[in-house]
Amino acid sequence: MKKTTPCIHLLIINKVYKPTVKQTVGNYLDHYIECMIAENRIGNAKTFKELRTSISNFYRSLDFYFLDIDTDWLKRYAQWLKTVKNYSDNTIGIRFRSLRALYNSAVSDGLVRKSNYPFDTFTVSQFNEQTAHVKIKLYKDNLKPNWFKNLFKKKEKN
């Protein structure tokens, strides 16, 4: 039988029972938005501000933890977005992709364990709307005459 040192046992215990930092979703989200603005990622920051407003309206607070976000919570949030807010699947998908990115960042920062990850069972891809691609053929009769003439008019030499 192989002897193990106490240090290895402590290392294993620390990995298994790694304490998580207590930070609310609201505080983490605010910090996340500030970082995006500092990196000049204004469009992404706006998307996460919309997520903050949406979650705040749904949960009536941002004073909760990532551990509170489980599959049932995600289902209730999706149902609320669809029925109360009347959002399309595309808009719901944007909110959930943002929330998933925030959750992934929280996992990376040690705020929540990967074992608590709710997006393994709750798929965001269910909100992808299939849009029809419409090809439009332009005919000479459908265009304004002056525009069409100017488009194909040969430049005269001086």
CA distance 36 to 42: 7
pLDDT in tens, 113-134: 999 999 999 988 787 765 545 5
pLDDT score of 125: 79
Distance CA 103, CA 91 (A): 18
Give the predicted TM-score (pTM) of the model: 0.69
The answer, yes or no, to whether residue 12 has pLDDT greater than 80, is no
Closest CA to 49 of 68, 29, 66: 29
pLDDT digits (tens, 9 = 90+) for 64-111: 999 999 999 999 999 999 999 999 989 999 999 999 999 999 999 999
Task: List pLDDT tens digits, range 139-158.
Answer: 655 555 555 555 555 555 55
| Region of residue 35 (left: phi > 0; alpha: psi -120 to 50; beta: else) | alpha
Residue 10 confidence (pLDDT):
43
Q: Count of H helices and E strands in the chain?
A: 6, 0
> To the nearest whole percent, how much of the chain has pLDDT over 70?
68
d(CA 58, CA 75): 12
Q: What pLDDT score was predicted for residue 5?
A: 41
Residue 22 pLDDT > 70, yes or no?
yes
Q: Mind listing the pLDDT tens digit for each residue in 49-75?
A: 999 999 999 999 999 999 999 999 999
Greater confidence (36 vs 17) lies with 36
- Return all residues near 52 (Cβ < 8 A) that are at least 6 apart: 26, 29, 30, 33, 62
Evaluate if residue 15 carries a pLDDT over 80.
no
Indicate the class that CATH gives domain 13-127: mainly alpha
**Total residues belonging to the chain:** 158
